[in-house]
Each structure stands twice: as structure tokens, then as C-alpha cells.
A and B are shown apart, each in its own frame.
Chain A
Amino acid sequence: MTSKTDSTSNSSRSTETAIEVSGLGFSWDPVQAPLRFPDIALKRGDHLFLHGPSGSGKSTLLSLLAGMLRPDTGSVRILDTDIHQLGAGVRDQFRADHMGVIFQQFNLVPYLSTRANVTLPCGLSELRKKRTEPTVADEAERLLAALSIPEDHWQRKVTRLSIGQQQRIAAGRALIGAPGLILADEPTSALDADNRDRFLELLLNLAHRHNTSVLFVSHDQSLARHFGNQLELRGDRT
């Protein structure tokens, strides 16, 4: 199930590319023509803003990039690894080692405390655990402090926190152990304007510090100004 040798070799190499996608096509229904995705090339540490109308395949693209769906055509290289050449178990481990995730909502495991939610990836990946300094708990607390989560919330049940706080905790979870790439699926859509800008600022600053690339999906065009790279999905079918 795990492939430590494989993942470790990937990380020790200081890779230059975060995402490299070419000729990607996928269809949910074999009768329909497949969705075509534009080619993407994102340098390590750069951020990409992905927008498009609903139904344009944003979530499908994220699933393909995360290795949770297999493409019909084309290849996905994350940190110089063709993830769809890997077996299912190795792909899961690759995701644990190298990707952080933030969803639109319901980001947290309800029965874990704030801190346990942040440290969750370190339980799944030895690699990310090793990258925390000096300990997992210290790094989690540093991230929580940086994301302005008050200290008395750290041991508390996450279900009592506000949506804004929950999203910031999810960002902490994505950032811990400095993964190469963060996939963020409309993480700000449930937030008001103030919270949204603050969230984005914190996320991008911290990601920059860890040399982590962020792929940010949103339909909110106004956020695009924070990103150096932009891509629009149109949901092309051929």
C-alpha cells in the first residue's frame, strides 16, 4: 500500500514543475464526448487561479490532478511524477505526501480537535511529518497562530468554530509539512468579503514561505488579481 522509496525519491529531488498537464480528457459517460482540458504547466512555488462557469469541469479537473479519477486520455505530472502511472495505493500515498487540500465547506473531521485536524496529514505521511520543525505539534501551533486562530480554540471541537475559522484551519492542514501543491476548491465561497481577502492573503503568504504551489479554483473573478497565473475552463467537448 505504501511506497516510501518512491515518494521519498520524489521529494528529495528539488523539482521545478508543480503541475504539468497535457492532452487531458475525461468523460463520465462513455456515450458523451469527453471533456477536454487545456494543457497546464505550473512552476514550483507559482500559484494558479482557475475559473470557469459551473459544469465547465473544475471539480473533475481537481479529481484528475489529485489522482482520484483516472483520465481517458493525456497525462498528469505532479512534481515530475506521472501520477496515473502509479497504482491506486501508491497514488493515495503520493497525495498524502505531496498535496494539501481545501474544500468549499465541511473541511474538517468533526470529532477531532482543531490541532488534531491540522496534524492529520502527518499521520498519513511520514514525509510530511519529517518536514515539520521541530515537532508536528509545534508546527501545527505555529500555523494556527499565523492563521490567527485563538489559542484557546486549539484543543476544542471544531464544530463550534465559525466558518471563517474552519476554513483557516483547513488551510493549516493543507500547509503542514510543506507539500509541493495545494488544491483549493472554492475555499472562500462561504466567506464574506473581508474574511475572503484575509484568508487568501494568509494562504498565499504561508504557501510562498514553504515554496508550495497553490491551485485555486473559484468562480469569483475578483480574486484573480492575487494570482500570477490564470486559466479559464470553458468545458469544451470534442
Chain B
Amino acid sequence: MKARLALTLAMASLWYRKKVLALVCLTLTLSVSLLLGIQYLRTEVKQSFTSTISGTDLIVGARSGQLNLLLYTVFHIGDATNNVRWSTYQSLKEDTRLEWLIPISLGDSYRGNRVVATDENFLQHFRYGRDLPLELAEGQWFEGVFDVVLGAGVARSLAHQVGEEIVLSHGGGRTSFSNHEDTPFTVTGILAPTGTPVDQAVYIGLDGMEAMHVGWESGVAIPGRTLTREQAEDRNFTPDAITAAFVGIERQVLTFRIQREINQFSGEPLSAILPGVALSELWRLMGQFERALLGITGFVVITSLIGLIAVLLTLQAQRAHEIAVLRATGASPALIASLYIIECVALALAACVLALVIGMAGLSLASPWLLANYGLQIALRPLTATEWALLAAVPVAAFMVALIPAFGTWRQSRRLGFGEAADQ
């Protein structure tokens, strides 16, 4: 009965002071949304990051560290230390335990975006995210020597259409002064957005890569020795080397054995890495930053709770008469103190519910836009246990800070005489 009275009184009191408290509640709501949002995005971004590449069991390249190999093959950051001989690639291809191989040849660029020379296996076997295949938004995969397929990001930022001709540059720099001007490429297709580095690259065939480098053996084009498109059409280009290969293994229990075998390959020094392991290692490096961000948001919530207490303590002065009435009518000091706790926790709960609603609405509004513009796939999903715990921590923290005015009132009202209003 007393609990019900306390609840009724607390709710009526909250409603009575709604103007001031709505502002406090808004502050708290925003900070809780921020906290929840960051935790939510953290999980989503991590998920999206660690599945930048999926379905690939091994990445094989010249001997180097696993982060280096991952960075230049998947993220297009940095350069290869060395190449893999074509004969080595052929011998890997003959290994029946390997289900598929995607050859990758790097070295050129198109207006700051990497040129990736590969073959049709890339379209067929490359997977990202939750095992999603690549899809062409427009046109088709390259067939001819001078065909090129653009990543979604490249096509959007440079506003290229299927059928346009583009000139690739020699070398990996953002601005290059030596362009393959004799051998322009025709855009035959544009990939659908993936939200991975795949969007920021252009794809040509291995033969195209070879063809445009004929006459470039010294590093610059020697006039008269480069090929025209017509000359190139009839020739057969077999590369001497590739940069790396993505490997799919038929029986995945063999992954570690095959990895060891490749690492010990006698023909030339090779490295085979597990992309998942390398990705989590990379995330660990970057994870420091997002943990710091979460920490800062935690402090934002604490700050708004302190703001809430400041307001409650200010209101306490106005409540002296009401406390005198309740006390003389027979309310115990504990009941009066509990009003502060109920009010504070109720505000925190309201803020949490509002934050959930705001977060859900914001996410469902923003996610199509994020996907269309940045290829970021952030789906509405049920909250994880950690997120619920984080959310539940808010009313708990509110309860703890409410103990400050509650205890003050409890002590004061114990000493109150008949009809006496506590002076501050």
C-alpha cells in the first residue's frame, strides 16, 4: 500500500515538474542514445570489418608478414614485397586439394584506385560479409583484353558509365605522370556496392595487365614498342608472375597442413595466411580507439546523470513544505527518501526507452542511405547481452546517484518538528 502511494506521489511529482525534468530527461536520452549507438555500431563495424573477406581460406603471396600480405591484397594498402612466379601459381592450381584460386596482380592504378588484374574466378569465388558473392550492378564481367570492371565506389565518385573508355596509370601513386595512353580500357561492368575495399578498385584481366605493359620493360613507355589495341587482340599473353592468390580449400580440415606446406614451398619463399586471423589481429590494433570512444561516451552519460542530480537537489529546496506535510501526516523518512529514488530511476528508464526508440528510428531511416552511399550494411538487429547490460547500467547508475538527495532528505526529515519546513 505504501509502495503504491510512493509510486503515485513520485509520478504526480514528476508530472508537476515536467518542464524542467523534460529537459533533463532529454539530455539523458541523448547521452544514452549516444552510448547505445556507439556500442551498437562498434559491433556492426567490427562485424563488417572482420568480414571484409570471407570464404577465402588462405591468401598466398611472397614471403612477408601476415599483416603486410593482408593489407596489400585485401585493403590495397602498401606494396607487395615480391611476386609469385607463374609456374608456382600453376603448380598450386594442380593441387587437387585446392578447390579454387583467384590470382591477383597489382601494381597499377586508376586515379588513386588500385588496378587489380585477376580472372573470372574473382567474380565467382570472392565472398565478403556473411558469405555474400559479388554482383554486377551494370554490364558484365570483362572478357576482352582491354575490358575493365569498376568497383562501385570508383564508378560513383568518378561518375563513370558502362561503355566509357578510361586510361590506367603506371604505378600505384595517387597522381601518376606516366599513363598507359596507348591502351585505353573500355568499361564493361560496374560492381554492386559491398562496403569493402572491393568498391575502391578497378578490375582487368591478367592478359590486359600484360598487354598494356608491353614496351614498358624499363619502367617508362618506349615509343614504337608499345602495342595498339588491334595488335594486342591477336596475341596470347601469359604473365611471368602474379602478386598473390586467394585460395579456397575443399576440405577445410586440411587448411593448416596446406598452409604449412605452402610456407615451406621449396621453389620460392612464400607465405600463406589465414585471412580471418589476420583480420582480427588488425582489428585489435584499431580496437583501442573504439574502446576509448566508448569510454568517453560512458563519461557523457555520467555527466548527464550528475546534471540530473543537480536539478533534483535544486528542486529539493522547493519541496521542503511538501515534505513537512507528508512527515506530519505520518509518512516515514524512508518513504520520503524513496520518492527521490523512484523519480530518478523513472527518469532514467524513460530516457532508456526513448533512446531505444530514437536509435531504432534513426537506424531504420539511415541504413538504406548508408548502404546506397557508403556500402555500409548496418542492419536492425536485436540487442546483444552486452548492449542490454549497458542499457541496464543507466537506471542502476541513476539509482546510485539518487541516493545522494535521498539520504539528505532522509536525515533531514528525521529531525523535522511538527509543521517545520527543512531549511537548506
Contact = CB atoms under 8 A, between A and B. Distances in A.
Interface size class of B (residues with CB under 8 A): 20 to 34
B418 A124 contact: no
Given A92-B332, A123-B5, A107 B325 contact: yes
B56 to A, nearest CB: 65
A64 to B, nearest CB: 8
Contacts of B329: 95-96, 101, 120-121, 124, 173
Interface in A53-105: 59-60, 62-63, 65-66, 68-69, 88-89, 92-97, 99, 101, 103-104
B4 interface: yes
Interface string B1-44: 11011001100110111000000000000000000000000000
B419 A88 contact: no
Contacts of A106: 321, 324-325, 421
A185 B419 contact: yes
Contacts of A107: 325
A126 interface: yes
Contacts of B2: 2, 123-124
Interface string B293-317: 0000000000000000000000000
B325 A108 contact: yes
A116 interface: yes
Contacts of B417: 59-60, 62-63, 68-69
Given A110-B16, A110-B322, A124-B2, A68 B327 contact: yes
Interface string A201-233: 000000000000000000000000000000000
Nearest to B6: A123
A108 B420 CA distance: 14
B5 A124 contact: yes
Contacts of A66: 328, 418
Contacts of B334: 1
B324 A103 contact: yes
A211 B329 CA distance: 19
Interface in A14-38: none
Given A103-B324, A107-B325, A109-B325, A125 B330 contact: yes
B419 A59 contact: yes
Interface of A: 1-2, 59-60, 62-63, 65-66, 68-69, 88-89, 92-97, 99, 101, 103-104, 106-112, 116, 120-121, 123-126, 173, 183, 185
Interface of B: 1-2, 4-5, 8-9, 12-13, 15-17, 321-322, 324-332, 334, 414, 416-421
Nearest to A129: B1
Given A92-B330, A123-B1, A68 B418 contact: yes
Contacts of B16: 110-111
A121 B322 contact: no
Given A68-B417, A92-B331, A124-B5, 5 more contacts: A108-B325, A109-B9, A120-B326, A121-B329, A124-B329
Nearest to B414: A88
B323 to A, nearest CB: 10
Given A106-B325, A123-B4, A123-B8, A99 B330 contact: yes
B324 A121 contact: no
A183 B329 CA distance: 11
A126 B17 CA distance: 29
A82 B13 CA distance: 35
Interface secondary structure of B, over-half rule? helix
B175 to A, nearest CB: 69
A209 B15 CA distance: 37
Given A59-B418, A185-B419, A93 B330 contact: yes
Smallest CB-CB A-B distances: 4 pairs: A96-B330, A111-B16, A123-B5, A106-B321
A94 B322 CA distance: 20
Nearest to B13: A111
A99 to B, nearest CB: 7
Contact of A126 (B1, B321, B332): B1
Contact of B416 (A68, A88, A116, A121): A68
B419 A101 contact: yes
7 contacts: A62-B418, A68-B327, A69-B417, A88-B414, A96-B331, A124-B329, A124-B331
Contacts of A88: 332, 414
Contacts of A104: 419
A92 B153 CA distance: 73
B282 to A, nearest CB: 57
Given A93-B330, A111-B15, A63 B325 contact: no
A63 B414 CA distance: 12
A97 B332 CA distance: 13
Nearest to A121: B329
Contacts of A92: 330-332
A212 to B, nearest CB: 15
Contacts of B324: 103, 106
A112 B330 contact: no
Contacts of A120: 326, 329
Nearest to A2: B2
A95 B5 contact: no
Nearest to A159: B16
Instruction: Tell which of A60, A88, A111 has the most Cβ of chain B within 10 Å.
Output: A111
B328 A101 contact: yes
A110 B142 CA distance: 78
